[in-house]
C-alpha cells in the first residue's frame, strides 16, 4: 500500500484525520478506557513507508498526559505534544490494518490509571 492507502484507512474511522508536516496523520481521539475515559485528545501517527508491512512506531499525543510505563519523549510536533515509544509487538500476527493498530493504542490507554 502507499501513503494514500494509509490515509484512507485512517480517514475511514476518523473523518477529521488530516496530514500534518507531510509525515504525520493527526485526528481527534476520545479515550475509550482507563483513568482518562471519555477525555478528548489528539493523536498523530508517523507514516511508515512500508505500510502495512510495518506499523507506526508509537503515537504522538496532545496534550501531554504521560504514560505509566515511561518511554515518553519530546515530539517534533511541538511543546504540547509527546511521543510514546510503544511498538506494537504483535503486528506481524495481526491482520495489519489500521483497526488492528488502534486496538494496540486502546491497550496503551487502558494502562493509564
pLDDT at 2: 72
pLDDT digits (tens, 9 = 90+) for 53-82: 999 999 999 999 999 999 999 999 999 999
pLDDT at 1 over 60: no
Strand order in 72-74's β-sheet?
A: 18-20, 24-30, 40-46, 59-62, 82-84, 72-74
Classify burial at 75, counting beta carbons within 10 Å of its beta carbon; exposed 0-12, middle 13-18, buried 19 or more.
Answer: buried
- For the domain spanning 3-110, the CATH number is 3.10.110
pTM score: 0.93
Q: Is there a cis peptide before residue 107, judged by omega within 30 degrees of 0?
A: no
19-23, 25-29, 58-62, 94-98 — which is least confidently predicted?
19-23
Q: Which residues contact 13 (CB under 8 A, 6 or more apart)?
A: 98, 99, 102
DSSP string across 22-71: TTEEEEEEE--SGGGTT-EEEEEEE--TTTTTS--SSEEEES----TT--
Model confidence band, residue 16 (pLDDT cutoffs 50, 70, 90):
very high
Domain spans of the chain? Answer: 3-110
C-alpha cell of residue 47? 507514516
* Dist CA 38 CA 94 (whole Å): 27
Amino acid at each position: 500500500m502507499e501513503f494514500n492507502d494509509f490515509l484512507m484507512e485512517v480517514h475511514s474511522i476518523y473523518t477529521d484525520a488530516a496530514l500534518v508536516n507531510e509525515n504525520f496523520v493527526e485526528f481527534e481521539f476520545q479515550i475509550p478506557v482507563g483513568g482518562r475515559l471519555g477525555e478528548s485528545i489528539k493523536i498523530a501517527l508517523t507514516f511508515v513507508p512500508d505500510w502495512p508491512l510495518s506499523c507506526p512506531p508509537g503515537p504522538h499525543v496532545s496534550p501531554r498526559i504521560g504514560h505509566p510505563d515511561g518511554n515518553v519523549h519530546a515530539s517534533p510536533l511541538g511543546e504540547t505534544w509527546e511521543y510514546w515509544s510503544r511498538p506494537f509487538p504483535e503486528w506481524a500476527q495481526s491482520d495489519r490494518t489500521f483497526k488492528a493498530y488502534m486496538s494496540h493504542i486502546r491497550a496503551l490507554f487502558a494502562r493509564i490509571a
